[in-house]
Amino acid sequence: MNKKQVFLTVLVLLTIFMFIGCSRPDLGVYDKKVPADQLCTLEIAGSISVTSFNDKKVNWKLTFGTLTAKSDDQTIIKIPQGNHEMLVNFWTHDSWDTRATVNNVKITNNFIAGHTYRLIAILTIDDKPVETYSYKAKVLPTAVTFRIIDKGVTPKASE
C-alpha cells in the first residue's frame, strides 16, 4: 500500500468508529403485535440497562461500541402503553474499569401511548443529588435512585 491508500484506510476506519461511538441504538418495537397508536417510546440513559420487562428477560442497554460519557447516549425502544415493571441496573465506569454497580432494582411506571419517556439515574454524591444520563466515575456515589421522566407527546415524523 502506498501512503495515500494507508491514509484513506485510516480515515475510513476513524469515520466508522466515530459513527459507532455517536450512535443512539434504536431497538425498534418490543411487541410488534401492538398497534402503533398504542405504543410509547422509552429512552434508556447510557449507564442504565434493563434486564427484565414484565418478568420477561430483556437486554436493553448500550453496547460496547456506543458506550461513551456523553449525556445524549441512550438506547431507544417502543413499548406498549400501560403499567409495566422493569428490573434495571446501573454502572459507573472510568475507561475500562467498572467502579460501582447497582443491580436488579425494580421500577414500575404507567406509560401513556404516544408519549416519550426517559429512564435516568439520580446519584447522591457528597450528599447532593446529581441527575445523570451517563456517568463517568470520578467520585463514587453513595446512593443511586431511578426516575422515569415523561417528556410528553412524541412528535410525528411529519411535524
Whether pLDDT at 10 is above 80? no
Q: What pTM did the predictor assign? A: 0.74
pLDDT tens, residue by residue, 22-36: 445 788 999 999 999
pLDDT at residue 2, rounded to an integer: 77
Residue 66 pLDDT class (50, 70, 90 cuts): very low
Average per-residue pLDDT for the chain: 78
Give the pairing type, strands 115-125 and 39-45: parallel
Bridge partners, 116 (sequence order): 41, 152
Task: Judge contact between 36 and 114, C-beta under 8 A.
Answer: no
The C-alpha atoms of residue 42 and residue 71 are separated, in whole angstroms, by: 16
Show me where the domains of the chain are located.
24-153
Which among 134, 148, 27 is positioned nearest to 90, based on CA atoms?
Answer: 134
Question: 104 with 142: CB under 8 angstroms?
Answer: no
Cα 99 to Cα 7, 91, 113, 143, distances in angstroms: 37, 7, 37, 13
Asked whether the beta carbons of 79 and 44 are under 8 A apart, the reply is: no
